[in-house]
Amino acid sequence: MTDWDKELAKIDKQLASISDEQLLASSAPAPAPAGGGKGATRTLPTGRPGAPPSTPMPSVAAGRPWVAWGKVLVAVGAAAGLMVWPWPARCGVPLVGFTAATGGVALLGLWSAVGTWRHRLGLAHVASLLVAAWGLALGAREVLPRVGYAIPTVERTASWSCDGLPPASTPGTAPGTAPSVAPGATPVAPAPAAGGITL
């Protein structure tokens, strides 16, 4: 165990051996740079008299925080754009394009998260992380059924290609139902199955 009385006595002897001018000169703050507040640097105290000066460290808030907010707005706009994706992303090239777009949105979210972390913008950082999670979730929704980790559905089949897929249902009709008949048109009865009775 350490005898604190002896350690404190050693420290007192060291402080007594240093003149007041030396003690005050080594603990005085460094003069501010001539350039003013923009791009200012700060130094960390060394804590020891006579120690070499520490290297300057860039200020946390150096730079332009509005640039970080701009990155967040770009990422949020791209994530909102996925909600109104104009092409059906069921198979083929449109599916690959949509999946690439979800990956791009996730990367935009991470890109904006780095900038918001550097500027210590809490709300913007949370928004950036939500954008990244949104892009990853939408991408996983399309990829996982096609690689065997989720149950395929009619909208998200187990195949990336369109070969052998049934045609997609038209808007306004549920899958497996007959399309609606336009007003004034005569409905056409489905053909009877072989050996079936129609009424």
Output the CA torsion 165→166→170→175 (10° steps): -110
DSSP per-residue codes, 119-187:
TT-HHHHHHHHHHHHHHHHHHHHHHHHHHTSS---SSS-S-SS-TTPPPPPPTTS-TTSPPPPPTTPPP
pTM: 0.51
**Cα–Cα distance between 146 and 40 in angstroms, integer?**
53
Beta bridge mates, 58: 41
In the predicted model, is pLDDT for residue 165 greater than 80? no
Could you report the per-residue pLDDT of 27-73, keeping only the tens digit for each? 556 665 555 555 555 555 555 555 555 555 444 445 678 888 889 99
pLDDT confidence band for 126 (50 / 70 / 90): very high
The position carrying tokens 């990956």 is: 103
Helix axes 65-83, 122-147, angle to 10 degrees: 30
For residues 112 and 71, the answer to whether their CB atoms sit within 8 Å is yes
pLDDT at 127: 94
Amino acid found at 6: K
Place 111 in a pLDDT band, splitting at 50, 70 and 90.
very high
Of 180, 16, 23, 112, the closest CA to residue 188 belongs to 180
Half-sphere exposure of 192 (CA within 13 A, CB side): 6
